């Protein structure tokens, strides 16, 4: 049912138009018959009719003035001007403000019916488009977390396709995602010590993710990655147009607000590390690494730490820059069973910490942290240490006061740890085999790099690297080709519809599936099926 208002100061004119419409259009309801321009504005704003027939000459506001005011508030209302004039200046002004047509006096029934029918068709088309747009928006809302996670993973690893990044950006309707900073969130050590073992890391991460993703200050400025290990990575868009320290202060306030929200909503104390603002997709990984370094400090001191403030804090033992990149490399090498490479990297770590130290206590702190991180990360990743591994050596560190002795002790301790790793089931080839097995079983459902990385116990960025080294193709493209291959089989060997096949291979939106299929094969699914059928005949 469409709603229509007739605005005319002549009763007879209103009566004639009303009679014609009620006779020809039973699905149109006449909601008001204002007698002047002021009433037309009042009734129009209150009742919001779909169609308005507006006389051009009325007391108070004329039809053009009243229409201009109404269209400024109700831009989708269809207004027809009723006039005895056909002068160009009236027509030009009416068209400029968005009038949809004219009805000339004296009233002609055929003209009225044809014009109203045309307007009805336009309204119906608009409503269909609106319904479609809302449906698309709802679908985008559903897949947005997956898209955000893929973008965050790409920024961290530096392994991305510019065309794919741009298509993702357009899909989630973000203006500029090429500049910003990383925030890394994890439960604080104090919180982990207080909660029972029955509360899993997964549950804690889910609670943090829910609180962070619903933060009103972040929702429209951030891309939130999925839970990886015990951390959640958030990319906050921000232009690099201010001094570094000013940007750091802004980011610090954002982090504090985020920590407070998580504590209020999820009742979880967090440690948060924040990196500097960087611009260009090729440089965003730097902010992630900086945020990781800041997170290490935050885990020790509690609260929110920005990387920029660590760099300027030269008066504390912790001012030694912790070689996060080397720590990460050691952990990944151990998970892959590359023990000799891990030992070489450990020696480099020890040398770097000692050479860059400001005090013996700073050196001890860094080495103690490396050993603790290695034990915890290895245990969480399912890589077992032999029971006779002597973990009590950490207590010796407090008594050593000589740097050379510290270097010898730390090398012996770390090498001893590495030598006791059960690595026979953790070779690179077997890990990649587990990845492929997982993909084969789950490619037709929601699957992300972080999800698979969690499954095999590697970081997303390292998994992305070794995956491409082994297969010559990135993770996302591999899954896409897997899905397209399966779709081709279904198109050839089943009578299922395109929509059904789309769902079976992991795409909820058939239109998006068709675009991906065409990009890979050069033709749409329907064309592919037809071409193969004709070829067989």
β-pairing, 270-274 vs 303-306, is parallel
With a cut of 60, say whether residue 291 has pLDDT above it. Answer: yes
β-pairing, 78-83 vs 51-55, is parallel
- Higher pLDDT among residues 358 and 22, named by residue: 22
Q: Is there a contact between 489 and 464 (Cβ–Cβ < 8 Å)?
A: no
| Same domain, residue pair 90 and 155 | no
| Same domain, residue pair 433 and 412 | no
| Same domain, residue pair 396 and 481 | no
Around Cβ 27, how many Cβ atoms within 10 Å? Answer: 7
Q: Rounded to an integer, what distance in angstroms lies between the CA atom of residue 273 and that of residue 305?
A: 5
8: CATH: 3.40.50.2300
- Please name which of 33, 37, 9 lies closest in space to residue 21, comparing C-alpha atoms: 33
212: CATH: 3.30.70.270
| Tens-digit pLDDT profile for residues 174-186 | 778 888 999 998 8
Rounded average pLDDT over 26-31: 94
pTM reported for the whole predicted model: 0.44
Give the HSE-up count for residue 261: Cα atoms under 13 Å, Cβ half-sphere: 20
- Please name which of 260, 268, 262 lies closest in space to residue 195, comparing C-alpha atoms: 268
Give the model's pLDDT for residue 308.
86
Paired tokens of 434: 């587990």
Q: Is there a contact between 99 and 80 (Cβ–Cβ < 8 Å)?
A: yes
The domain boundary residue, chosen from 403, 426, 449 = 426
Give the model's pLDDT for residue 128.
79
| Same domain, residue pair 199 and 249 | yes
Q: Could you tell me which residues come within 8 angstroms of residue 295 by beta carbon, excluding any fewer than 6 positions away?
A: 184, 186, 231, 271, 272, 273, 305
Low-confidence winner among 42-46, 86-90, 247-251, 347-351 (lowest mean pLDDT) = 86-90
Give the model's pLDDT for residue 17.
94
Q: Is there a contact between 144 and 225 (Cβ–Cβ < 8 Å)?
A: no
Among 29-33, 109-113, 307-311, name the most confident range.
29-33
- Higher pLDDT among residues 314 and 128, named by residue: 128
The domain boundary residue, chosen from 89, 107, 125 = 107
Around Cβ 18, how many Cβ atoms within 10 Å? Answer: 15
Grouping H, G, I as helix, E, B as strand and the rest as coil, residue 239 is: coil
Residue 416 lies in a domain: yes
Rounded average pLDDT over 448-465: 78
- Please name which of 13, 11, 7, 15 lies closest in space to residue 38, comparing C-alpha atoms: 7
Around Cβ 413, how many Cβ atoms within 10 Å? Answer: 20
| Same domain, residue pair 347 and 301 | no
Q: Rounded to an integer, what distance in angstroms lies between the CA atom of residue 339 and that of residue 59?
A: 91
Q: Could you tell me which residues come within 8 angstroms of residue 326 by beta carbon, excluding any fewer than 6 positions away?
A: 345, 348, 349, 352
- Please name which of 20, 24, 60 lies closest in space to residue 42, comparing C-alpha atoms: 60
Please give the torsion angle defined by the CA atoms of residues 11, 17, 19 and 22, in that order, rounded to the nearest 10 degrees: -130
Distances in whole angstroms, Cα of residue 432 to Cα of each of 175, 222, 426, 455: 37, 32, 10, 11
With a cut of 70, say whether residue 233 has pLDDT above it. Answer: yes
Residue 118 lies in a domain: no
Residue 267 lies in a domain: yes
Q: Is there a contact between 46 and 72 (Cβ–Cβ < 8 Å)?
A: no
With a cut of 70, say whether residue 405 has pLDDT above it. Answer: yes
Give the HSE-up count for residue 443: Cα atoms under 13 Å, Cβ half-sphere: 19
Q: What is the pLDDT confidence band of residue 220, given thresholds at 50, 70 and 90?
A: low
| Same domain, residue pair 153 and 254 | yes
- The domain total for the chain is 4
Q: Rounded to an integer, what distance in angstroms lies between the CA atom of residue 101 and that of residue 117?
A: 12
Residue 98 lies in a domain: yes
Give the model's pLDDT for residue 85.
62
Q: What is the pLDDT confidence band of residue 424, given thresholds at 50, 70 and 90?
A: very low
Q: Rounded to an integer, what distance in angstroms lies between the CA atom of residue 51 and that of residue 30?
A: 10
> What is the residue range of 368's domain?
314-426
Q: Is there a contact between 4 and 119 (Cβ–Cβ < 8 Å)?
A: no
Q: What is the mean pLDDT of the chain?
A: 80
Give the model's pLDDT for residue 305.
92
Paired tokens of 267: 């009742």
Residue 119 lies in a domain: no
Give the model's pLDDT for residue 356.
76
Give the model's pLDDT for residue 176.
80
| Same domain, residue pair 160 and 289 | yes
The domain boundary residue, chosen from 385, 410, 426 = 426
| Same domain, residue pair 192 and 283 | yes
With a cut of 50, say whether residue 197 has pLDDT above it. Answer: no
509: CATH: 1.10.10.60
Give the model's pLDDT for residue 135.
67
| Tens-digit pLDDT profile for residues 235-268 | 998 887 788 888 888 899 888 888 888 888 878 8
Residue 128 lies in a domain: no
Burial (CB count within 10 angstroms: exposed 0-12, middle 13-18, buried 19+), residue 358: middle
Residue 130 lies in a domain: no
Low-confidence winner among 45-49, 196-200, 295-299, 479-483 (lowest mean pLDDT) = 196-200
| Same domain, residue pair 264 and 349 | no
Give the model's pLDDT for residue 361.
74
With a cut of 60, say whether residue 69 has pLDDT above it. Answer: yes
Q: Is there a contact between 392 and 363 (Cβ–Cβ < 8 Å)?
A: no
- Angle (CA) 210-212-217 rounded to 5° is 135
Low-confidence winner among 244-248, 325-329, 418-422 (lowest mean pLDDT) = 418-422
| Same domain, residue pair 476 and 353 | no
| Same domain, residue pair 475 and 337 | no
Give the model's pLDDT for residue 389.
47
| Tens-digit pLDDT profile for residues 485-501 | 999 999 988 888 999 99
Residue 82 lies in a domain: yes
Rounded average pLDDT over 57-71: 89
| Same domain, residue pair 468 and 527 | yes
Give the DSSP H or E segment for 487.
Answer: helix 475-493
Rounded average pLDDT over 151-164: 76
With a cut of 50, say whether residue 388 has pLDDT above it. Answer: no
Q: What is the pLDDT confidence band of residue 382, given thresholds at 50, 70 and 90?
A: very low
């Amino acid at each position: 049912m469409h709603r229509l208002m007739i605005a005319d100061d002549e009763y007879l004119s209103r009566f004639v138009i009303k009679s014609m419409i009620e006779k020809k259009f039973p699905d149109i309801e006449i909601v008001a018959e204002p007698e002047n321009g002021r009433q037309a504005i009042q009734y129009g704003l209150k009742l919001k009719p779909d169609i308005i027939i507006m006389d051009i000459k009325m007391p108070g506001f004329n039809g053009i003035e009243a229409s201009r005011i109404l269209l400024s508030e109700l831009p989708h209302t269809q207004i027809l001007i009723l006039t005895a004039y056909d002068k160009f200046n009236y027509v030009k002004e009416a068209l400029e403000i968005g009038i949809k047509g004219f009805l000339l006096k004296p009233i002609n029934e055929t003209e009225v019916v044809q014009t109203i029918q045309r307007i009805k068709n336009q309204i119906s088309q608009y409503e269909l488009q609106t319904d479609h747009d809302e449906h698309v928006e709802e679908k985008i809302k559903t897949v947005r977390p997956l898209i955000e996670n893929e973008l965050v993973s790409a920024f961290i690893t530096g392994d991305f396709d510019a065309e794919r990044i741009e298509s993702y950006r357009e899909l989630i309707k973000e203006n500029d995602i090429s500049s910003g900073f990383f925030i890394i969130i994890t439960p604080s050590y104090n919180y982990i010590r207080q909660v029972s073992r029955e509360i899993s890391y997964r549950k804690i991460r889910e609670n943090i993710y829910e609180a962070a993703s619903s933060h009103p200050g972040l929702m429209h400025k951030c891309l939130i990655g999925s839970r990886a290990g015990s951390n959640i990575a958030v990319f906050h868009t921000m232009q690099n147009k201010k001094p570094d320290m000013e940007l750091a202060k802004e980011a610090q306030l954002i982090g504090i607000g985020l920590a407070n929200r998580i504590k209020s909503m999820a009742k979880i104390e967090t440690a948060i590390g924040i990196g500097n603002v960087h611009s260009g997709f090729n440089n965003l990984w730097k902010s992630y690494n900086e945020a990781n370094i800041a997170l290490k400090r935050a885990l020790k001191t509690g609260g929110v730490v920005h990387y920029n403030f660590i760099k300027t804090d030269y008066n504390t033992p912790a001012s030694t820059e912790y070689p996060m990149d080397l720590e990460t490399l050691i952990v990944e090498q151990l998970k892959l069973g590359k023990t000799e490479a891990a030992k070489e990297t450990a020696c480099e770590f020890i040398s770097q910490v000692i050479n860059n130290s400001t005090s013996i206590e700073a050196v001890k702190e860094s080495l103690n942290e490396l050993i603790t991180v290695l034990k915890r990360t290895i245990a969480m990743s399912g890589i077992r240490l032999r029971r006779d591994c002597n973990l009590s050596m950490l207590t010796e560190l407090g008594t050593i006061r000589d740097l050379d002795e510290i270097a010898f002790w730390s090398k012996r301790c770390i090498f001893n740890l590495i030598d006791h790793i059960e690595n026979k089931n953790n070779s690179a080839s077997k890990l990649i085999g587990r990845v492929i097995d997982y993909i084969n079983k789950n490619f037709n459902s929601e699957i992300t790099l972080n999800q698979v990385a969690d499954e095999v116990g590697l970081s997303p960025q390292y998994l992305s690297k070794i995956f491409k080294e082994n297969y010559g193709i990135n993770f996302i493209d591999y899954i896409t080709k897997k899905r397209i291959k399966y779709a081709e089989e279904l198109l050839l060997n089943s009578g299922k519809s395109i929509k059904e096949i789309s769902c079976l291979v992991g795409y909820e939106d058939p239109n998006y599936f068709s675009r991906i299929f065409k990009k890979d094969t050069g033709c749409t699914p329907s064309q592919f099926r037809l071409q193969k059928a004709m070829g067989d005949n």
